[in-house]
Structure 1
Amino acid sequence: MEPEKAIVEHLEGEDKLAETSTSDASREDVHPIIDPEAERKVVRKLDYVLLPLFTVIYCLNFIDRTAIGNARIAGLESDIGMQGYDLNIALTVFYVSYLVSEVPSNLALKHFGSIWIAFLVIGFGVVAIGSAFMKSFEALLVTRVFLGLTEGGTLSGLVYLLARFYRRHELVMRIGIFFGLAPSLAGAFGGLLASGLLSIPDFGIVAGWRKIFLIEGVLTTAVGIFLLFFIPGDPTTTKLLNEEERAIAIARLDADQTVKMGGKKERTSLKLVIQSCNLHTIVCSLVFMMINISFQGLSLFLPTVVRTLGTFTTVEAQLRTVPPYLMGAIWAVVNSWASFRMRQRWLPLLWSSVLTIIGYAMSIATANPAARYAACFMNISAGVLIGPMVLTWATDNAAPDTMRAMATALVPGIGQLGAIIAVWTYLPTDAPNYRRGNSLNLGTTCTMFALIFLQGFYIMWENKQRDLGKRDDRVKGKTVEEQHELGYLHPKFRYQL
């Protein structure tokens, strides 16, 4: 079939679209030129390839990042002479380098294409292998710096690539699946893998916790090498799609654009980079920071927290970290589906915020081990969902392409400030109740709820202003290219609630 045959203009075509109201012209479901059956086949093909691949990539990213938690209770601190707050310092160094790498990495991805992701995966795989041979605290600091630099652009890069293939209303299910499932599966698999590796005989100088870093690093590096040859490129050039499918993919990109550009990217400019720092992106970044304070702190120290709930061996404590992550995976997928069906992110974000508020309130209010373990389920479940959904919310409302690349980097980048705070929330001196950390997390989740609540009302108000034509003056006297660069400021653009 010729590409043109799959892209069918309706009776009035673009003329009819131009005659619609400003509100109707920007609706997500306006899709006047693409054959629905041909589009479904393309989307199905993308789902079967991109989602499993991206889930594996982010699983490995999360496993390598949090391996230090499992290594800690397996003897890491005593073996390399750590004491006091050394672990917290090492985690802080990681998140600082992670934060610094976000924006440069995404701009490099926009320039070099998807192969940049393969280089990042190989990078943090090699660093994980090197971590197996650490003999001092100084060596740990060096490995954490390089791990942060290589892992930093992975999540934002994967989200940016998804936004190049999927339409705005489709993103939440896809990001929810790979970003929601990956930490849950990685948390569960990481605990199982760590307990399994500690149960097998040592080999050479690689003993105890060193086996965790080595084996996980080898697996990651192997996947990175595979990606060099098989990660799909941009929809305008990828070999994953044939000529007809590429034409449909490009038409899909245009379907969400106020100005049709045939899938082409605008030139990156300082003006667009600065313009990316808008109210919605800042609010989403702050929410991401808040959830990182609670979720990252709990995920890094979950094996330690679980160990305080009873007299467990190291392996038993690691195995008890698995169920909360599995519950988180279910919560993430169900709510991502609900968000997709409702065509909004606001309500799932609000009720997940309430869930984690209840969870941390329980952690503070009771010393009962069963109740505190149940609170871990609630906090992990909400944290697994809120991160990807608020990142989706920011990506939905970022345009044009440069701003989307910036938003997908800024939100997790600024969010890492929360992770830096998180590593100081569960301190050894606060065990076994960790009241200080749980109280901080309760405060941040309440703040997060307020930010989400207010931003939803702002979006509804701003969309109403555009419906009334109060932003129409923005396009007067502008060329097609200048109108395209307006992106989210274009009067026909509607924010995704």
Structure 2
Amino acid sequence: MNDKDAAGIVQEIDATHNAAEQGQVATDKYGHSLVQINPRVERKLRTKIDLYIVPTVALLYLFCFIDRANIGNARLAGFEKDLNLVGNDYNMVLSIFYISYTIFEIPATITCKWMGPGWFLPLTTLFFGITSVGTGFVQTRGQACALRFLLGIFEAGMMPGIAYYLSRWYCRAELAFRLGLYMVMAPLAGAFGGLLASGILKLGHFGTLHTWRMIFGIEGIITIGLATLAFFTLTDRPATARWLTEEEKDFAIARVKSERLAATVVLDQIDKQKLLRGVLNPITLSTAFIFLLNNITVLGISFFLPTIVKTIYPNRTTIEQQLLTVPPYVVGAFFVVLVPTISWYLDRRQIFLALSGPTVMAGYAMFLASMNAHVRYGAIFLTASSAFTLGAMANAQVSANVVSDTARSVAIGTNVMFGNIGGLIATWTFLPWDSPAYHIGNGLNLACSTMLVIVAMAALLWMKYDNKKRDSRSAEIQEELAGLTQQQIQDLDWKHPAFRWKL
């Protein structure tokens, strides 16, 4: 290395350190980054963060989803019969989870920011693991509803909390892929949960627990173990990461900060103005509605796939029916990683929201058109291939279209809260008296996937239109910001005249 190269690296390190300091902005007034980034150094740092951060949150989310959806596996193993559930009682037990899950979504996300994800995520995992174990001992419908309500409280902060946590570490284009790496655990939870449930049911007993009760007990204990481990492995933010050097900490902070227009800090203080900017952001609201529509399908699959498979292949054994739920989830998991990978390469998200709809539409059209077992089972693969991808893409899109850390946390929380309303609707889509054709459930999902495409495309066209309108006023930025303090400029968030919607 010659003296000129060495001097350049020293200058780059100094610039990165300055950009990482409190009170320093990392963008100019037009939103252009002031940080010089060495791609080789960035790639090395990103890989290091991947290895330390992603595996832990992925495992936590895997068992979060298993502990939520294993009630579908328990149903095949006698859950309804043992608790004397009749008519719509099972749907009621499912619904109670989403009532608390929705109510506590935004409060849990704000608590995650206030407490710090490094503490919040393991703690809430510990609580829903304990709740899962407790579900193995319920004797009545009322007890089951009470435990499911508690489970909703403790799981409310997991999906938005992890998405928000990852936004502390990754740039906009990178985030969708990393969200995909942990959200792939949702379809894998269906696959792994089916395999695990079939294996557990082969046991004679687990302590005093038998049949479906063993599913809740064993899977809950595993969750408690993972939560305990996470207390020691999760690092709250780059500045506190013992496994990063001081130079790496500065670089990790500066590169995230370089995408946050007019921001002087990465982790700002919570205030009302920024909370409102996150909730009332047009792309937050449109994406949240898209996520609501999508979750009607995703969570309908999660809760009712074992039941649907049973209506398709009624003569198979319970173990065989459990195993038949696995392949569609494997296909879904593949696309949950593939689509965010392409999104990362293109730095585009909105178009992928729209493209998720047509295959779901085709799948439910097949359900409505045919009672042939092979056609209906094949339709499940079509719906799973794209429906699960929106968990990563929707959260990445709302994260990309706000500026401050506070706005980002509540925007993600709002998106997931709307998704949970979709989950509540999903619990009533496949009703016992509508079996085996399920015209209501399949028709509703077809309508939702169609509406999803319309809303996503309309939002994309509006974003392009508004960006052009903002471009036409770019020469007036200095004039529009005249007289505002640095704090007032930061509080503008997406209303800053230099802000552009990220497609």
Give the residue type in structure 1 aligned to 2:128: F
Give the residue type in structure 1 aligned to 2:231: L
Give the residue type in structure 1 aligned to 2:93: A
CA deviation string 1:379-405 (max 9, x = no partner): 112111022211211111122111100
Q: Assess if the C-alpha contact under 8 Å between 1:251 and 1:262 holds in 2.
A: no
Aligned to 1:272: 274
SS in 2 for 1:232: coil
Q: Pick from 75, 98, 102: which aligns with 1:72?
A: 75
SS in 2 for 1:412: helix
Aligned to 2:343: 339
SS in 1 for 2:269: coil
Give the residue type in structure 2 aligned to 1:426: F
The whole-number CA distance in structure 2 between the counterparts of 1:387 and 1:262 is 28
The whole-number CA distance in structure 1 between the counterparts of 2:311 and 2:10 is 64
Q: Which runs of 5 or more structure 2 residues have no equivalent in the other structure?
A: 1-5
The whole-number CA distance in structure 1 between the counterparts of 2:429 and 2:206 is 36
Q: Assess if the C-alpha contact under 8 Å between 1:235 and 1:250 holds in 2.
A: yes
The whole-number CA distance in structure 2 between the counterparts of 1:239 and 1:335 is 33
The whole-number CA distance in structure 2 between the counterparts of 1:282 and 1:262 is 26
Q: Pick from 169, 182, 192: which aligns with 2:173?
A: 169
Give the residue type in structure 1 aligned to 2:489: Q
CA deviation string 1:409-453 (max 9, x = no partner): 010112211111110000011111111100001111111110000
Alignment of 1:371 onto 2:375: yes
Q: Pick from 38, 41, 44: which aligns with 1:38?
A: 41
The whole-number CA distance in structure 1 between the counterparts of 2:450 and 2:181 is 26
Question: Within 5 A, what are the aligned runs for 1:31-110?
Answer: 32-110=35-113
Q: What RMSD in Å do the two structures reach over aligned CA positions?
A: 2.2
Pairwise CA distance, 1:307: 0.9
The whole-number CA distance in structure 1 between the counterparts of 2:283 and 2:312 is 40
Pairwise CA distance, 1:31: 6.4
The whole-number CA distance in structure 1 between the counterparts of 2:165 and 2:362 is 35
Q: Pick from 479, 485, 495: which aligns with 1:489?
A: 495
The whole-number CA distance in structure 2 between the counterparts of 1:237 and 1:335 is 32
The whole-number CA distance in structure 1 between the counterparts of 2:207 and 2:328 is 35
Q: Assess if the C-alpha contact under 8 Å between 1:42 and 1:245 holds in 2.
A: yes
The whole-number CA distance in structure 1 between the counterparts of 2:251 and 2:473 is 32
Aligned to 1:123: 127
Pairwise CA distance, 1:282: 0.7
Give the residue type in structure 2 aligned to 1:463: N
Aligned to 1:286: 289
The whole-number CA distance in structure 1 between the counterparts of 2:400 and 2:469 is 19
Aligned to 2:220: 217
Q: Assess if the C-alpha contact under 8 Å between 2:35 and 2:254 holds in 1.
A: no
Pairwise CA distance, 1:4: 6.5
The whole-number CA distance in structure 1 between the counterparts of 2:206 and 2:418 is 41
Q: Pick from 349, 359, 373: which aligns with 2:363?
A: 359
Alignment of 1:201 onto 2:201: no
Q: Judging changes above 3 Å, is the alpha-carbon distance between structure 1 residues 496 and 4 closer, same or farther for their aligned structure 2 residues? A: same
Pairwise CA distance, 1:9: 4.4
The whole-number CA distance in structure 2 between the counterparts of 1:339 and 1:474 is 34
Give the residue type in structure 1 aligned to 2:437: N
Using the aligned pairs only, state the percent identity: 34
Moved more, 463-472 or 433-442: 463-472
Aligned to 2:138: 134
Question: Within 5 A, what are the aligned runs for 1:231-250?
Answer: 231-250=234-253
Question: Within 5 A, what are the aligned runs for 1:471-490?
Answer: 472=477, 474-490=480-496
Aligned to 2:3: none
CA deviation string 1:284-305 (max 9, x = no partner): 1101100011111122000000
Aligned to 1:320: 324
Q: Which runs of 5 or more structure 1 residues have no equivalent in the other structure?
A: none
Aligned to 1:402: 406
Pairwise CA distance, 1:347: 2.4
SS in 2 for 1:203: coil
Moved more, 268-277 or 334-343: 268-277
TM-score for both structures, normalised by structure 2: 0.92
The whole-number CA distance in structure 2 between the counterparts of 1:119 and 1:4 is 42
Moved more, 43-52 or 117-126: 43-52
Give the residue type in structure 2 aligned to 1:479: T
Q: Judging changes above 3 Å, is the alpha-carbon distance between structure 1 residues 16 and 244 closer, same or farther for their aligned structure 2 residues? A: closer
Moved more, 460-469 or 298-307: 460-469
CA deviation string 1:223-256 (max 9, x = no partner): 1111112211112222232211111111112210
User: How many residue pairs align between the two structures?
Assistant: 486
Aligned to 1:420: 424
Q: Assess if the C-alpha contact under 8 Å between 1:232 and 1:240 holds in 2.
A: no
Moved more, 237-246 or 166-175: 237-246
The whole-number CA distance in structure 2 between the counterparts of 1:38 and 1:93 is 49
Q: Pick from 449, 467, 470: which aligns with 1:445?
A: 449
Pairwise CA distance, 1:272: 1.9
The whole-number CA distance in structure 2 between the counterparts of 1:334 and 1:4 is 38
The whole-number CA distance in structure 2 between the counterparts of 1:52 and 1:18 is 36
Q: Assess if the C-alpha contact under 8 Å between 1:331 and 1:382 holds in 2.
A: yes
CA deviation string 1:177-197 (max 9, x = no partner): 211x11121111000000000
Give the residue type in structure 2 aligned to 1:491: P
TM-score for both structures, normalised by structure 1: 0.94
CA deviation string 1:300-349 (max 9, x = no partner): 00000011112211111110111001101111211111111121112222
